[in-house]
Amino acid sequence: MASYLDAENPVVLRLRRFTVLVRRYIGITTIVGLVTGTLDTILFSLVGVEFAILWGIVAFVFSFVPTIGFWIALIPPVTMAYLQFGLPAALLVFFGIVLINGFAENIVKPRYMGIGLDLSFFTVFFSVVIWSAILGSMGAILAIPLTLAFKVLILEGDEGSRWFFDLISDKKRTETSKDSNSDD
């Protein structure tokens, strides 16, 4: 009699895959956040904003909040730049943060999420919108892990939903893995 915790059990295999993907998601988010936080710190230092390292750390922490995190994180350094140097410096800091973090959050991060998590760019982007609509701000924070759970734990186990599984997966990665499997 096979145990539910048997290593060959399909549910156990999907749970393991899910945990690997969540760890990968946290790793990607951490790396992108470190890069943006570092670039923000350099920007703040070049402009002369006080507490530049603190604002860089704040940018890193808020990088874990998809979509709106960097908007919240830009408030203190922009305010500090305005109080120190006036409107031109505040605008420079504002547009610098929008350029750095906007590019990272909207181009780089979804691309690496697609590659590392086998989710399409479209899926990564719209999962934040959908889960935010369902669960509010917590949905925005948990959007990717919830989407991974839905994909791996529910869709992957049902052959009838295979079309939807393929729809939300990264097609380039899926096609590459099919090509490598056909060479065997």
Q: Tell me: pLDDT of 2 over 70.
A: no
CA distance 137 to 98: 21
> Within a domain: residue 163?
yes
> Within a domain: residue 5?
no
**Confidence at residue 105, expressed as pLDDT on a 0 to 100 scale:** 83
> Within a domain: residue 60?
yes
Question: Is 144:24 a contact under the CB 8 Å cutoff?
Answer: no
Q: Tell me: pLDDT of 90 over 90.
A: yes
**Confidence at residue 184, expressed as pLDDT on a 0 to 100 scale:** 42
CA distance 120 to 80: 38
> Within a domain: residue 57?
yes
Q: What tens digit of pLDDT does each residue of 66-87 get?
A: 777 888 999 999 999 999 999 9
> Cα 95 from chain centroid?
22
> Within a domain: residue 182?
no
Q: What tens digit of pLDDT does each residue of 118-164 get?
A: 887 778 778 888 988 999 878 878 888 998 888 888 888 777 877 77
> Within a domain: residue 4?
no
> Cα 68 from chain centroid?
12
CA distance 79 to 50: 11
- Which of the residue ranges 4-13, 91-100, 101-110, 134-143 would you say has the lowest mean pLDDT? 4-13
SS3 131: helix
Q: What is the pTM of this model?
A: 0.75
Tell me which residue range forms the domain holding 156. 10-177
**Confidence at residue 113, expressed as pLDDT on a 0 to 100 scale:** 78
Q: What tens digit of pLDDT does each residue of 19-29 get?
A: 999 999 999 99
> Within a domain: residue 73?
yes
CA distance 55 to 143: 25
Mean pLDDT, residues 40-63 taken together: 95
- Into how many domains does the chain fold? 1
**Confidence at residue 182, expressed as pLDDT on a 0 to 100 scale:** 46
> Within a domain: residue 101?
yes
